[in-house]
């Protein structure tokens, strides 16, 4: 997938105002619209311009796109960084779906947008809640959405934390900026990745006597130094010595709840998986089933730096009739 430089496509600087972007779009849409343009690649260029404008006209999508950084070059191989949009607060709405309209011309089909666009602003981009519920002259504020990163330990034990969110907005000069919003939240024990924390009344203000919308925080975990998480289950790669795996042993193993004594059976192979029931992410108020901890044995070979260590390996070589490549037929 190739990176698309939307500013280059629109022919504007990265610090262009929203009005400058709008004027650039009008000029290019007139130039490349297939119904009137004589350019050989008019349809392709028109779609590119429509896609670029779809992002840059929206302060939220533009701020998210900008934070990818200015070092990317058009056509460069691109994969969206993990959790690239974490910490941004969005008002919802996703992309407009019907495409971009220009002065009576037909819409640009949003389904024709590139894979690059879809990877950033497709279904995973906060699309819910981009409307207001109206009743008479009163209107309920729309919901906001943000993705936050928390530590695994906070999900295991519950925690009170302060989080910082970046909220895109257009300043008085027409430039897109972000302001910081700090909130205190309670992380419930047993929450897992993909679940939401709802903050009532922290979305858009209502109109008249309408209530404010809510803020939904989608939870993801920070990468952990020793654990991996899959749903409610937690995985640990545990290094063991060759003799511990071959002869069996009782070893200390870390768990999210503290150290435990783990009994390794004789003859354990590399990759042997041991299950510790209910030592994964604990049950929560919405799910009464705790996850498990899976310990995966990883046989670690000691170095042979001294003469005695080398002699020990030589003794093993003479003692064992062992071909680790026998299964490959060699």
What mean pLDDT do residues 96-101 have?
41
Answer whether 50's CB lies under 8 Å from 31's CB: no
Q: What is the pLDDT of residue 135?
A: 52
Quick check: 102 pLDDT over 70? Answer: no
Q: CATH number for the domain including 287?
A: 2.60.260.20
Answer whether 95's CB lies under 8 Å from 22's CB: no
- pLDDT tens, 181-193? 999 999 999 999 9
Q: What is the pLDDT of residue 327?
A: 87
Q: What is the pLDDT of residue 37?
A: 86
- pLDDT tens, 44-83? 999 999 999 999 998 888 988 988 887 888 888 888 877 7
What mean pLDDT do residues 117-127 have?
69
Share of residues in the chain with pLDDT > 70 (%): 89
What mean pLDDT do residues 133-144 have?
71
Residue 51 falls within a domain, yes or no?
Answer: no
Domain range holding 254? 227-328
* Between 163 and 113, the higher pLDDT residue: 163
Overall pTM > 0.95: no
**Count of structural domains within the chain:** 1
Answer whether 249's CB lies under 8 Å from 242's CB: no
């Amino acid at each position: 997938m190739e990176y698309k430089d939307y500013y280059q496509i629109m022919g504007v600087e990265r610090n262009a105002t929203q009005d400058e972007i709008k004027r650039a779009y009008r000029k290019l849409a007139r130039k490349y619209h297939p119904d009137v343009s004589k350019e050989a690649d008019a349809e392709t260029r028109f779609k590119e311009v429509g896609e670029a404008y779809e992002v840059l006209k929206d302060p939220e999508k533009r701020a998210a796109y900008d934070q990818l950084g200015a070092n990317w070059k058009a056509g460069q191989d691109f994969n969206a960084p993990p959790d690239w949009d974490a910490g941004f607060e969005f008002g919802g709405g996703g992309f407009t779906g019907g495409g971009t309209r220009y002065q009576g011309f037909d819409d640009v089909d949003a389904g024709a947008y590139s894979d690059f666009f879809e990877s950033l602003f497709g279904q995973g981009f906060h699309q819910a809640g981009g409307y207001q519920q109206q009743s008479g002259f009163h209107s309920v504020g729309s919901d906001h959405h943000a993705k936050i990163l928390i530590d695994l330990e906070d999900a295991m034990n519950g925690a009170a934390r302060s989080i910082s969110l970046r909220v895109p907005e257009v300043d008085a000069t027409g430039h897109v900026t972000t302001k910081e919003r700090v909130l205190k939240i309670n992380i419930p024990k047993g929450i897992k990745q993909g679940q939401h924390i709802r903050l009532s009344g922290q979305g858009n203000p209502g109109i008249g006597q309408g209530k404010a919308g809510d803020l939904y925080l989608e939870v993801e975990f920070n990468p952990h130094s020793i654990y991996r998480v899959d749903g409610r289950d937690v995985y640990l790669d545990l290094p063991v010595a060759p003799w511990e795996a071959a002869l069996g042993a009782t070893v200390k193993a870390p768990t999210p709840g503290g150290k435990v004594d783990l009994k390794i059976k004789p003859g354990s192979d590399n990759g042997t998986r041991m299950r510790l029931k209910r030592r994964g992410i604990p049950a929560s108020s919405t799910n009464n089933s705790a996850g498990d901890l899976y310990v995966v044995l990883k046989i670690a070979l000691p170095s042979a730096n001294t003469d005695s260590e080398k002699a020990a390996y030589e003794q093993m070589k003479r003692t064992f009739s062992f071909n680790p490549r026998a299964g490959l037929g060699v």
